Structure 1
Amino acid sequence: MRWKVAILTASDRGSRGEREDTSAQVIRELIEEEMNGEIIEYRIVPDEKDEIMAALIEMTDYFKADLILTTGGTGLALRDVTPEATLEVIDRQVPGLAEAMRLYSMQKTRRAMLSRAVCGIRGKSLIVNLPGAPKGVSENLSAVMDQLPHALSILTGREGDHGYEA
């Protein structure tokens, strides 16, 4: 199964071209190598709630991405608004994914408890918030990577809830 994946980076400096988006590169490599995913859309927006929301809606409703991975904006800074934007556009939360990512990362750094990342569903798309740092992206995505194909199979109706063909 080949999954359609979109990457959204929330970064003021990245959106102005002042910083290379190495976190998105890490996502791309992991998705293509470990999940047989195809990157169908990639975008960098500033840390503005409305712009993040608009990009997420377009990635789900227009591009029909199976999976949207965001990077950046999950910390405690005032401009970190990716979780709030995500909560505004999703229909349902998938808290276990965010909990698993934090738990896994806590084994590497106690600062992982400060992550406000959320995960949820909009239509038939799964949205997962990842940190902004490449190392954090790698750790968090690795924590849930093995469950994403099954989650997407259920969400898109390609598989029943218990792993049986729909």
Structure 2
Amino acid sequence: MRSAGWLSLSVAIVAGLTVAMSRAAEEPPAASSEVNAPATAVPPASTVPVTPKDAAPPPSVTIIGAADAHGVLGRDVLSAANEDMGRIVDVIVDRSGHVRAAVIDFGGFLGVGSRKIVVDWNAMRFGKIVNKKDSITLELTKAQVAAAPEYKEDTPMVVLGASGSLQPLQAVQ
């Protein structure tokens, strides 16, 4: 009898260890900080079900035809007299996100001697297609732009407007 009791106990221990080992193989190893975590620990975020109130709403979608809109950075700007006025290198927006002005790399030859000038967004006209490109025309003369002070980042900027319609930018604090 004694050997039958030991045999049953041995089988029970082996069976318990086998079950424990198979469960351990199925579960990922716990991080060192979780070893002493209480049994009521919060499950990882990946296993927390997402309820509809937690889901982000779908984004709005707008479709703009290829002929209806284009990016402006790097685009050439012409005067009303079809003179080369430079290239748009930056767009200035106010704190509310409204476009206020464009920075034009003006003058120079092959990038040498050019200056950055800030012009009022309303002084530019986005026109019809010329040579497979939308034309951007500036309502200022080459002499007016040449006389404008140079734009330097992180300094107050002088914005050159076509008719003085630009309102001062109010500082938001």
Regarding TM over 0.5, the answer is no
Structure having the larger proportion of residues in strand: 2
Greater relative contact order: 1 or 2 (C-alpha under 8 angstroms, separation 6 or more)?
A: 1
What TM-score do you get using the length of structure 1 for normalisation? Answer: 0.23
Structure having the larger proportion of residues in helix: 1
What TM-score do you get using the length of structure 2 for normalisation? Answer: 0.22
